[in-house]
Amino acid sequence: MKLPNVEQAILVEAKFTAYLLDETHQEGRGKALFFKHFGFSVTEWNVLA
């Protein structure tokens, strides 16, 4: 499935490093653990982006 208007998406580093991949974030912790299971990390957040 393709995202509509994907070329207009804005990828903010902090959204990945301080939320989606931050295991200490109260709300993002579960997401971080999920992504970590598949090999994603804060140091290479751009791979997920």
pLDDT tens series, the chain, 49 aa: 788 998 999 999 999 999 999 999 999 999 999 999 999 999 999 999 8
End-to-end CA separation in angstroms for the chain: 17
Q: Any residues with CB less than 8 A from the CB of 44 and at least 6 apart, and which? A: none
CA distance 39 to 46: 13
CA distances from residue 34 to 4, 8, 27, 40 in whole angstroms, order as listed: 25, 26, 13, 9
